[in-house]
Structure 1
């Protein structure tokens, strides 16, 4: 299925390879249609309208909240399970200690990192806790 035909609600971003401290992202992973029958996917919520600066330690695996419902933003606290969102956290690892700005609006095109999308009118006009 060409990328342009994939609906936004059908994907989860996955890291492929580390190059230095930066992650490259694979194509999207489409879930099987049978999973949708059991756990329909909800849209991510805008957790907040600005990124969150964090310090990431080399070699540690982090779980970035994709659903926007975690009380431990920008990291997952398993709220996606209790609220049956059908969304799952993005696991990532960095190769060196560093600071980073992680997306909290959940609209970035470079998850889990902020790409400035939060500055758009679309995000700024949205209510925190609502979907885009």
Structure 2
């Protein structure tokens, strides 16, 4: 129990507050996070891809897909909280899609793979089961 002392019109008032929620919160050992998991780095280079106008693509954001740079659903078990980035090109075009998963212009490569944190990163090894 905590005691709160306040001054009101030059008179001291003592109040006793009950905080039953403190016991419940202190007893809880569950840690919740609202942050999605970080993607792994499957490649330190972009992927050159020919895109077809009007076709829907799903670019892998987690790095676990065995079908890089596209999604194969691996995020559902290996990176829950991350979802693929879906896009439809307006015209047939050849582009460089990000392979490191840290582009500031996803799904397109912006050169982020040249930064030290990617250059020094460990490449994610695909496991085949």
TM-score bracket for this pair, using the shorter chain length: 0.5 to 0.7
Aligned residues: 94
SS at match of 1:78: coil
Give 4+ residue runs of structure 1 displaced > 4 Å after superposition: 37-40
TM-score, with structure 2 as normaliser: 0.68
User: Does the CA contact (< 8 Å) of 1:103 and 1:114 recur in 2?
Assistant: yes
Using a 3 Å threshold, how does the CA distance of structure 1 residues 122 and 97 change in structure 2: closer, same or farther?
Answer: same
User: Does the CA contact (< 8 Å) of 1:67 and 1:85 recur in 2?
Assistant: no
2:74 corresponds to 1:79: yes
Q: How much is the aligned-residue C-alpha RMSD, in angstroms?
A: 1.9
Which of 85, 91, 103 in structure 2 is aligned with 1:90? 85
SS at match of 1:94: coil
Structure 2 stretches lacking a partner, 5+ long? 1-31
TM-score, with structure 1 as normaliser: 0.66
Using a 3 Å threshold, how does the CA distance of structure 1 residues 84 and 122 change in structure 2: closer, same or farther?
Answer: closer
Aligned to 1:129: 124
Q: Give a deviation string over 1:15-59, Cα, whole Å, max 9, x none.
A: xxxxxxxxxxxxxxxxxxxxxx59972110111000000000000
SS at match of 1:100: strand
2:51 corresponds to 1:60: no
Q: Deviation at 1:83?
A: 1.9
Structure 1 stretches lacking a partner, 5+ long? 1-36
